[in-house]
């Protein structure tokens, strides 16, 4: 099972107007069979997560980070050492 992707889709009844804060997500135009095709590339992540400075409650500010992509093998090794709370695990 591949559980490396975090994408949510929603269908709305009304049109969404894009702004500087609301943008469409860019998805590949065709399937990518190589799980390492972005290894070592820089990518930008954005979203709202838990705020460690506020008792890990949902943040009211969006975070934006530029990170370098790891290989799938490295992710698998790291995941074997990290114990995630069951709410984050995919069975």
Q: Is the backbone of residue 40 left (phi > 0), alpha (psi -120 to 50) or beta? A: left
SS3 77: helix
Distance between start and end Cα atoms, the chain:
9
Segment 22-39, tens digit of pLDDT: 877 776 666 678 888 889
**Beta-bridge partners for 63:** 47
Nearest-CA neighbor of 6 among 39, 45, 42, 34? 45
pLDDT at 8 over 80: no
pTM (whole model) above 0.85: no
């Amino acid at each position: 099972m591949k559980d490396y992707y975090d994408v949510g889709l929603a269908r709305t009844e009304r049109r969404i107007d894009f702004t500087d804060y609301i943008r469409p997500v860019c998805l590949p135009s065709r399937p990518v069979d190589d799980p390492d095709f972005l290894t070592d590339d820089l990518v930008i992540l954005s979203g709202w997560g838990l705020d460690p400075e506020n008792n890990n409650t949902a943040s009211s500010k969006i975070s934006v980070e530029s990170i370098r992509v790891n290989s799938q093998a490295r992710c698998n090794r790291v995941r074997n050492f990290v114990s995630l709370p069951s709410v984050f695990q995919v069975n």
